[in-house]
Amino acid sequence: MSQIKTEVLIIGGGIGGAAIARELSKYKVDATLVEKGPDVGQGITKCSSTIMCQGSNVLEFRSEYHNSRLVWAGMTMMEPLCKELDIPLKRIGSLELIKNQEEMRHPEKMMRRFKEYKGKYIPDEVEPLQFIDRDTLRSWEPNVNKSYLGALYDPNIAVNDPVRLTIALADNARKNGIKVLLDTEVMSISKGTDEFEVCTNNGSIKCRYIINAAGEYVGKIAQMADADDFALYPVKSYQAVLDKKLGGIINHMVLSNENGMVAPTIHGNLFFGISPGTQRLGKAHDHSTDKKLADAALKNAQELVPGISERDITNSFVGFIVFRNFEIGWHECTVGVSRWVPRFINASIGFPGICAAPAVAKEMIDILRNQGLQLTENPDFDPYEKSMPDFSELSDEEKRQIIAKDPKYGHVVCRCETVTEGEIVEAIKRGARTLDGVKFRCRPGMGRCQGGFCGPRVTKILARELGISEEEVTKKGGESRNLLYKSKELLEAQQ
């Protein structure tokens, strides 16, 4: 069992923890991020919708909420951040559809509120909301149900890939000097006068500051240090990804007031989803999909876009929103020092958390300073990352060049998404150690057949590159091995 010392310990490798780590790497500080899984971004970050910059989307909530402020602040940071990290971000805009005359008053109210908050809470760069009429709606979105009367248009909404963003943030943090320890689960925390001793499955870590960014486990970690009471209030949402052939039929995120939505993804698919609002649903940490929610989501999506069919679903998953302290309102972020334990800082981001992450990270710097941490700038900070090549997006000529440089790019492994062996090897070089790790970096198995064809091949490449046997390859670490036995092993055991 090893024992290490670090100044700042970040617990949790989701978008929050990774963004904080990267922000800290701009300073000369000894910081460490621990993640219990084999990869970053694989908890609730993975289950989030890919929608970004939902600033004006939270106009409904009271402006003084921490959450709204962070989301608004974060939305203008997202685009430059993605540029630095070479992560695609596409502004699609959202259309909140208006069903009847009664709902017609809603856009007006929102536009008025937007004007009121602009400059005060909402940064100046944010584009104003607009009302668009029925004809415009039809010309923009000919495949949306024709019965809608118009829409509230928010041009700020964007999509990206939150897992890739998290990976890039962690990679960039590591490059700039932050230690990232994977497969490291915090088991207990004890408080000394000047420092904490954090016990993990891989040894103990002594640190002066703890940043609790454990996502859905934020309550569990806080409890270990008697630092806070979190009421874990899980709310399930449901999302389904549709076959790429439906890719172009919707261009904006379209949503109805029944909490249903349909939107394009950054990868050219279409997805739809439903969030049941503030209704408590599911047990804590239960990420299983259920038929009731799936059926409701499909019904909602078909109401919005009649061309969607159940036959076109290629995958579905549960989104998971964790609320704290729901009495004061919903969608609450908790970013700040524990009420009882100094130098223990919670960073629990509410919905829509992805968008708030860069702002939370910035705020963390001030909080740490207030708690006595000396932070001087890191003169060697390099803000840039180069994302890995995406073979399917290359031009014919670029394809020729990359294969000439490395013939592994001439070997297509995943036929649905046209992913080459070159990309898979690169993903492993960049830290992927599981099937999901490869999948979230370069997409084999994300397509129509969901890895039916490429699964055995990716398993082989992973085993070869990591120097392990194929049986040891897991889907997502832990007990998630894919192949439990060797051929003839069971028969031999019976003899």
Partner 1 sequence: MKLQDIDVAVIGAGPAGMAAAIRAREAGAENVIIMERAEELGGLLHQCVHNGFGLLYFNEDLTGPEYGNRFIEKVMDTGVKPLLETMVVKLTEDRQIGAVNAKEGFITFRPKSVVLAMGCRERSRGALNIPGSRPSGVLTAGTAQRFVNVEGFLPGKRIVILGSGDIGMIMARRLTLEGAKVEAVVEILPYIGGLIRNEVQCLHDFDIPLYLQHTVTQIHGEERVTAVTIAKVDADRNPVPGTQRKIQCDSLLLSAGLIPENELSLMAGIRLDPVTGGAVVDETRQTNIAGVFAGGNVLHVHDLVDNVSWESELAGESAAKFAMERDLGEKGTINLKAGTNIRYIVPQTISGQRDTTLYMRVNEPQENVRIKIGDIMTKTVRAVKPSEMIKIELSSEKLQKVNKETKEIIVSCEKRGGK
Partner 2 sequence: MAKKETFICIGCPLGCEVTLTIDEKGKILGFAGNKCKEGEKYVFEEYTNPVRILTATVLTQNSAQPLLAVRTSKPILKTMLAQGAAVLARTKVKPPVRVGDIIVPNLLDTGVDVVASANLSS
For partner 2, give the closer residue by CB, 99 or 460: 460
The answer to the question of residue 382 lying near partner 1 (CB under 8 A) is no
Question: How many angstroms separate the Cα of 13 from the Cα of each of 19, 99, 330, 372?
Answer: 9, 41, 24, 24
Q: Cα-atom radius of gyration of the chain, to the nearest Å?
A: 23
For partner 1, give the closer residue by CB, 252 or 439: 439
Judge whether 28 and 376 are in contact, CB under 8 Å. Answer: yes
Residues in the chain: 495
Q: How many residues bind partner 2 (CB under 8 A)?
A: 6
Q: Which stretch binds partner 1 (CB under 8 A): 66-74, 147-155, 356-364, 403-411?
A: 403-411
The answer to the question of residue 389 lying near partner 1 (CB under 8 A) is no
Return d(Cα 154, Cα 94) in angstroms, integer: 5
Q: Which stretch binds partner 1 (CB under 8 A): 55-63, 260-268, 339-347, 408-416?
A: 408-416
Q: Which residues contact 350 (CB under 8 A, 6 or more apart)?
A: 67, 321, 322, 323, 324, 330, 331, 332, 333, 334, 356
For partner 1, give the closer residue by CB, 124 or 396: 396
What dihedral do alpha carbons 160, 477, 433, 268 form, nearest 10°?
A: -20
Minimal distance in Å, beta carbon 312 to partner 2?
31
- Quick one: which of 375, 408, 430, 431 contacts partner 1 (CB under 8 A)? 408
Q: What is the pairing mode between strands 130-133 and 150-154?
A: antiparallel
Q: Which residues contact 228 (CB under 8 A, 6 or more apart)?
A: 219, 222, 334, 338, 339, 340, 346
Minimal distance in Å, beta carbon 171 to partner 2?
35
Judge whether 241 and 265 are in contact, CB under 8 Å. Answer: yes
Return d(Cα 10, Cα 207) in angstroms, integer: 10
Q: Does the N-terminal peptide bond of residue 352 adopt cis geometry, omega within 30 degrees of 0?
A: yes
For partner 1, give the closer residue by CB, 200 or 482: 482
Minimal distance in Å, beta carbon 330 to partner 1?
26
* Binding-site string for partner 2 from residue 474 to residue 493, where x marks contact by CB under 8 A and - marks none: -------------xx--xx-
The answer to the question of residue 306 lying near partner 1 (CB under 8 A) is no
Minimal distance in Å, beta carbon 45 to partner 2?
38
* Binding-site string for partner 1 from residue 418 to residue 437, where x marks contact by CB under 8 A and - marks none: x-x--------------x--
- Quick one: which of 460, 465, 466, 472 contacts partner 1 (CB under 8 A)? 460
Closest CA to 88 of 446, 379, 472, 385: 385
Q: Please give the structure tokens belonging to residue 283.
A: 């047990």
For partner 1, give the closer residue by CB, 342 or 456: 456
**Considering CB distances under 5 to 8 angstroms, the limit depending on partner class, which of partner 2, partner 1, none binds residue 407?**
partner 1
Return d(Cα 191, Cα 195) in angstroms, integer: 6
Minimal distance in Å, beta carbon 420 to partner 2?
21
The answer to the question of residue 487 lying near partner 1 (CB under 8 A) is yes
Largest CA distance in the chain: 79
**Count of CB atoms situated within 10 Å of the CB of 338:** 18
Minimal distance in Å, beta carbon 52 to partner 1?
24
For partner 2, give the closer residue by CB, 16 or 455: 455
For partner 1, give the closer residue by CB, 62 or 481: 481
Q: How many residues bind partner 1 (CB under 8 A)?
A: 65
Judge whether 19 and 358 are in contact, CB under 8 Å. Answer: yes
Q: Which residues contact 458 (CB under 8 A, 6 or more apart)?
A: 413, 414, 424, 435, 438, 439, 444, 445, 451
For partner 2, give the closer residue by CB, 395 or 495: 495
Judge whether 439 and 317 are in contact, CB under 8 Å. Answer: no
Q: Please give the structure tokens belonging to residue 347.
A: 């960073």
Minimal distance in Å, beta carbon 237 to partner 1?
15
For partner 2, give the closer residue by CB, 139 or 494: 494
Strand partners, 440: none
Tokens 């070997």 belong to which residue? 411
Minimal distance in Å, beta carbon 490 to partner 2?
9
| Helix pair angle (353-370, 15-24), 10° resolution | 40
For partner 2, give the closer residue by CB, 398 or 489: 489
Closest CA to 390 of 356, 420, 361: 420
For partner 1, give the closer residue by CB, 120 or 311: 311
- Quick one: which of 218, 264, 451, 462 contacts partner 1 (CB under 8 A)? 451
* Binding-site string for partner 1 from residue 174 to residue 213, where x marks contact by CB under 8 A and - marks none: ----------------------------------------
The answer to the question of residue 326 lying near partner 1 (CB under 8 A) is no
Judge whether 226 and 25 are in contact, CB under 8 Å. Answer: no
- Quick one: which of 5, 456, 464, 468 contacts partner 1 (CB under 8 A)? 456
Residues that bind partner 2 (CB under 8 A): 487-488, 491-492, 494-495
Which residues contact partner 1 by CB under 8 A?
A: 240-241, 245, 286-291, 294, 310-311, 313-317, 392, 396, 399-400, 403-404, 407-412, 415-416, 418, 420, 435, 448-453, 455-456, 460, 470-471, 474-491, 493-494
